[in-house]
Amino acid sequence: MREMKTDILVVGGGLGGVAAALGALDAGRSVVMSEEYDWIGGQLTSQAVPPDEHSWVEQFGVTRRYGALRDGIRRYYRDHYPLTAASRAWDQLNPGAGWVSRICAEPRTGLAVLEAMLAPYRGAGRLTVLQPYSPVAADTDGDVVRAVTLRHRDTAEEIAVEAAFVIDATELGDLLPLTGCEYVIGFESQADTGEPSAPPTAQPHNVQAVSICFAIDHVDGNHTIDKPRNYDYWRAYQPHFWGGPLLGFKAPHPRTLEITERSFTPNPDDDPLLVDADQRKSGGDQNLWTFRRIAARRNFTPGAYASDICLVNWPMIDYMEGSILDVSEAEKARHLQSAAELSHSVFYWLQTEAPRADGGAGFPGLRLRGDVTGTSHGLAMAPYVRESRRILGVTRIVEQHLSHAVRGNQGAVRYRDSVGVGMYRIDLHPSTGGDNYIDVPSCPFEIPLGALLPRRMTNLLAGGKNIATTHITNGCYRLHPVEWNVGEVAGRLAAHCLDQGTTPHQVQGDDARLASFQALLAHAGVEMRWPDVRAY
C-alpha cells in the first residue's frame, strides 16, 4: 500500500471539500483531497444542480470566496462564450436564465472555475488531488484519526494518508462509521429534539429522496431512446400522496401540498434578461423547462445554440424506494441503479407520452445531453444527495432555532460561536418513509462552530452536509453556499489549530480563542452575522 503524509486530509471533493482545501491552503498548509467521481464540485458539477441560493446572494450572506466562485463563472462565460452584447453587459449574468437561481449555468463551467481556483496550489506542490478515490478504512487511536485508507474506483489501488487533521466532506458522511464517530441518520424523534415537525419516534431509515438529474435540449428529428427495462413499473408508480402517477406533470406543491399541474414548453421565446430569479416573488417552477434551464439560447449570438439546455431536477425523478445510508454495498448499488432507471423512464415518458399543449403526446425532439454532464449514459455523473449521515456534535441545530413560526420577528438564534450565515426555507423532499414534502419558513440563520465538531473525536471535522443538523434543519443547511461556508471554515479551523497548537474544541470552548478565530474568518471574508434583511 502506498503511503502519504500531509497536514490536512480532505475526504470528498464536492463544494465543501474544495472550500475546505482552499481554506487550509490559504493558511499555508499542505492538503491532500480525494474525490470519488471524475469531477470535483459535487452538487454544482457532478450532480449537475444549479445553485440553490437566498435572495440577497448578490449583496451579502455568502463568503467572499464563494462570491469569487460565482464571479468566476460569469467571467468564464464572458471570456469564452459567444454572448450577445446585451447579455455580456448584464452585470448579474444568468447564463441559463433559470428561475431557481440567479446563476444557472452548465456544470462544466463551474468545474473549470473550481479547477482554476485550485491550480496554483497544485503547481506549488502543496495540494494533491486523488481521483477517483473513496475512503474504505480508517486508523484511529482513541479519539484521534491517524490515517485514512483510500481506494481507487477502477484499479482498487489503495493509498493510506496520514494527517494531523481530517475533514469529512463526503456526500454521505462516509468517514463517520469508518472512524467510529458518533452520528445519526434519518428522522430524529420529537422527544429527542423537541422539534414541532418531528415524529413521535425516531425513523433512522426515513431520509430524503436522492435524485439522478440529467440535461436535455430539443431539436428537430426523432431522438427517442429505447424503452427502459423497468419503464412499465415506473409508469404505473403512484405515491399515495401524489395525486396521480409519478410520471406526470401533476405533483404536490412543496409549500401547500395542493396537487398542482406544471407546464412543459421547450424553447419558449422568452427574453432571458427579464427573468427575475427571486424566490420571494415566485417559485418559478410552473414551467419545468425554464425552472432549472442552464443555457438560454437567446443569451448567445444567433445560431450558437440550437436549443436551450434544461436541467431536469423535477419532482418526478425523486427516488423514494429506499435509503442508501447504512445499507450493504449491494443494496446501495441496487437503489442507485433503480434511481437511474427512474430518470431514464422519465425521459422516455417525456419523449413518448408527455401531454403537449397542442393536444398531442410526446416530445421526440428531446435529447439527453450526456456531453453536458460528462457521461456516456446521459445522466448526471453522481446522484444528487440531499441528506447525509450527521455527526452528533457539540452544538445541535434544531428547528426551533430558526423556524419563523417559533422565532418570529426576533429572528434565528444568534450563536456565540457563529462562523457563517445562510438562508433557505426548510425544504424537505418526499422521503423513503413515505412522507410528503415538509416545508417550514425559516429566518436567516447562523452556522455555529460547535455543529462542525464531533462530541468526542478531536481531529475530525465535518465539512459538508454532515454537520450536526437534524433531519429537519438539514433541509435548509444542505444548499450550495452553506455547504461551501461549512467547508471553508473547517479548512481554516484545521490550519488555525495547527498554527496555534490547540484543538477545535478548545477554540470553540474558550471565548478568547474563539474571538481570535472569528477575527481570522472575518479577515478572510466570512460573514458571521446577518444585517437587517427587511431593509433589502
At 280 the pLDDT is 77
CA atoms within 13 A on the CB side of 279: 19
Residue 536: pLDDT band with limits 50, 70, 90? confident
Kindly report whether the global pTM for this prediction surpasses the value 0.75.
Answer: yes
Q: Is residue 423 part of a domain?
A: yes
Same domain, 167 and 256: no
Q: Is residue 7 part of a domain?
A: yes
CA atoms within 13 A on the CB side of 422: 27
Same domain, 410 and 432: yes
Q: Is residue 275 part of a domain?
A: no
At 534 the pLDDT is 83
DSSP helix, strand, coil percent of the chain (3-state; round to 5): 30, 20, 45
- Say yes or no to pLDDT of 236 above 70: yes
Domain extent at residue 355: 210-267+307-373
> 3-state DSSP call for residue 290?
helix
Domain holding 180: CATH number? 3.50.50.60
> How many domains would you assign to the chain?
2
Mean pLDDT within 289-314: 97
Tens digit of pLDDT for each residue in 461-518?
999 999 999 999 999 999 999 999 999 999 999 999 999 999 999 999 999 999 999 9
DSSP 442-486: B--EEEEGGGGSBSS-SSEEE-STTSSB-TTTHHHHSSHHHHHHH
Q: Is residue 98 part of a domain?
A: no
Same domain, 332 and 447: no
Same domain, 214 and 173: no
Residue 283: pLDDT band with limits 50, 70, 90? low
Q: Is residue 174 part of a domain?
A: yes
pLDDT > 90 in the chain, percent: 97
Same domain, 362 and 464: no
Mean pLDDT within 52-68: 96
Same domain, 356 and 420: no
Instruction: Provide the mean pLDDT of the chain.
Output: 97
Same domain, 348 and 423: no
Tens digit of pLDDT for each residue in 387-402?
999 999 999 999 999 9
Q: Is residue 105 part of a domain?
A: no
Please, are residues 458 and 385 in contact by the beta-carbon 8 Å criterion?
A: no
Same domain, 16 and 160: yes
Same domain, 462 and 368: no
